[in-house]
Amino acid sequence: MAEEKKPEKKKIDLNRVAMPKQEPRVRARNFNEVAQGYTHEMAIYEANRCIDCAKPGCTKGCPVGIDIPGFIRAIRNGDMPEAVRVLKAKNNLPAICGRVCPQETQCEAVCTLAKKGAPVAIGRLERYIADWELAQPPEARMKTVLPPPTGKKVAVIGSGPAGLTAAADLARMGHKVDIYETLHMAGGVLVYGIPEFRLPKAIVQAEVDYVKSLGVDIYLDSVVGRTIMVDELLQDGYHAVFLGTGAGLPMFLNIPGENYNGIYSANEWLTRTNLMKAYLFPEYDTPIRVGRRVAVIGGGNVAMDSARCALRLGAEEVTIVYRRGRAEMPARAEEVENAEEEGVIFKLLTNPKQFIGDDQGWVKAMECYEMELGEPDESGRRRPVIKQGSEFTMDVDTVVVALGTTPNPLLPSTTDGLETTRRGTVVADEETGKTSKPAVWAGGDVVTGAATVISAMGAGKRAAAAIDEYLKSLK
């Protein structure tokens, strides 16, 4: 093992190592991963930039509290297995978080070097380590030693990051865990929403396989609330239930013409493309219709992913239409930049008024308002207001509505005693995830509304700890 190398504290190095990427022109036409990952040399260089702070801010910025200086130290020492161990102590899914966490507003935002404009690239290093581990032969991977079975059973509903994390933690505590998932594939938004070019599905599969290797059984095609009820699970021998059903109900604009052919919700657009692999049609059976001119309504990650998919599916001109300004866009900065480099056009301070169709019922144009920013609203962002008389028309062949999502009411509406809010989210204790219904916990987007992968995982972890305590209290 290499001897302990002290970071060179004398001089702070502000040369953050850039992420190697596919060329914009090339990648805008394929579904391969955009960011190609650090080489060993890059990782060592970047790890050396970390000054191993006595009071590291970074760890507090991570919703699951990874010992960030610890794993970076291990990289510096060339001790990859140790880096894996430190990461996995807090994060079951580092290959995913390293790729999709909004680091710039979390761990990296509070890195000491962020003040100098060059935070340590924590996410990229995390990805490097996770990929290093995935590249090892299976027998060389970190082994999880499971404790003797406790005889307690937990049903986890939904196989997104919240459900997978809760399941893995509970299994490692010795409980028998079964996951119930509506779709034909496990992973939640990680498989149906986030595209291959940002998060390769093989990586999600590897993480799902890891969870299965802990003895967790995954029942696909199981729509809880239809195929089976929460109360039946509790009667059928499960001691506790965790709801990680996400926020999968798409919102629409509710303006005239929204049901014309060619107008998709982002969920449908992304599900066809990613989960059903419509980009490989007709090799795969699910079709998608991509016009020459595509407009994507919205300014979040979902809008960026939809727009970038449209380019890759062959659209000539893709425009993001967003009602506020650039600074207000909720998408990760990196993804906005990626989209822009690839040629996505941004039409900011613009909002649709109505859709115009042709005589066959296909959308052909979109009438929009210009907007301006007024006083701040509840979210603290300046409220967009319509500029009177500013209407103009844009020709479009395809529209993707990416306004966001709320929890699907299917499960809450079929489960007695489960309290929900007006926004359709399940009411749960912030610390423990306990719901109003006995023996039922919840976490992730179903509780918070659409949020992030890492916050869903954090909620899954906290709920697993609370469920474990509850199970121990049972005789």
Any contact of residue 437 with another protein (CB under 8 A)?
no
Any contact of residue 37 with ligand FAD (CB under 6 A)?
no
C-alpha distances out from residue 36 to 31, 33, 39, 326, Å: 13, 7, 9, 27
Q: Give the C-alpha separation, 348 to 371, whole Å.
A: 8
Partner touching 68 among ligand FAD, ligand SF4, another protein, none, CB below 5 to 8 Å by kind: ligand SF4
Any contact of residue 92 with ligand FAD (CB under 6 A)?
no
Q: Out of 37, 63, 119, 163, which residue is the one contacting ligand FAD (CB under 6 A)?
A: 163
DSSP 431: T
8 A C-beta contact, residue 368 and residue 321 = yes
Q: Give the C-alpha separation, 183 to 190, whole Å.
A: 12
By CB under 8 A, how many residues form the interface with another protein?
A: 40
Question: Residue 350: enclosing H or E segment and its boundaries?
Answer: strand 350-357
Give 431's Cβ-side CA count (13 Å radius): 1
**Tokens at residue 158, please?**
């939904």
Closest CA to 429 of 465, 404, 387: 465
Counting other chains too, the contacts that 55-60 makes at CB distance below 8 Å and 24 or more residues apart are 56/112, 57/110, 57/111, 57/112, 58/107, 58/108, 58/110, 58/111, 58/112, 58/120, 58/122, 59/107, 60/110
Q: Out of 103, 265, 338, 435, which residue is the one contacting another protein (CB under 8 A)?
A: 265
Q: Give the C-alpha separation, 355 to 386, whole Å.
A: 17
Q: Which is nearer to another protein, 109 or 249 (CB)?
A: 249
Q: Which is nearer to ligand FAD, 44 or 295 (CB)?
A: 295
C-alpha distances out from residue 379 to 14, 65, 383, 450, Å: 34, 26, 9, 14
Question: Residue 394: enclosing H or E segment and its boundaries?
Answer: strand 392-395
CB of 296 to another protein, least distance (A): 15
Q: Out of 112, 271, 350, 351, which residue is the one contacting another protein (CB under 8 A)?
A: 271
Partner touching 62 among another protein, ligand FAD, ligand SF4, none, CB below 5 to 8 Å by kind: ligand SF4
Cα-Cα-Cα-Cα torsion 202, 194, 162, 112, nearest 10 degrees, comes to 100
Per-residue contact string for residues 312-351; x = within reach of ligand FAD by CB under 6 A: --------------------x-------------------
Partner touching 392 among another protein, ligand SF4, ligand FAD, none, CB below 5 to 8 Å by kind: none
Footprint of another protein on 54-113 (CB under 8 A): none
b/e code 396-411 from CB counts within 10 Å (16+ = b):
bbbbbbbbbbbbbebb
Any contact of residue 83 with ligand SF4 (CB under 6 A)?
no
Of 37-45, 76-84, 143-151, 183-191: span binding ligand FAD (CB under 6 A) = 183-191
CB of 454 to ligand FAD, least distance (A): 6
Per-residue contact string for residues 398-437; x = within reach of ligand FAD by CB under 6 A: ----------x-xx--------------------------
Any contact of residue 95 with ligand SF4 (CB under 6 A)?
no
Any contact of residue 250 with another protein (CB under 8 A)?
yes
**Tokens at residue 400, please?**
């993707």
Q: Biggest alpha carbon distance in the chain?
A: 74
8 A C-beta contact, residue 92 and residue 164 = yes
CB of 248 to ligand SF4, least distance (A): 23
Instruction: Enumerate binding residues for ligand FAD (CB under 6 A).
Output: 100-102, 157-163, 180-183, 188-189, 193-194, 222-225, 244-246, 248, 270, 301-302, 305, 332, 408, 410-411, 444-446, 450-454, 456
Instruction: Enumerate binding residues for another protein (CB under 8 A).
Output: 182-184, 220-223, 226-228, 248-250, 252, 254, 258-259, 261-262, 264-265, 267-268, 271-272, 276-277, 281-287, 289, 360-361, 408-410
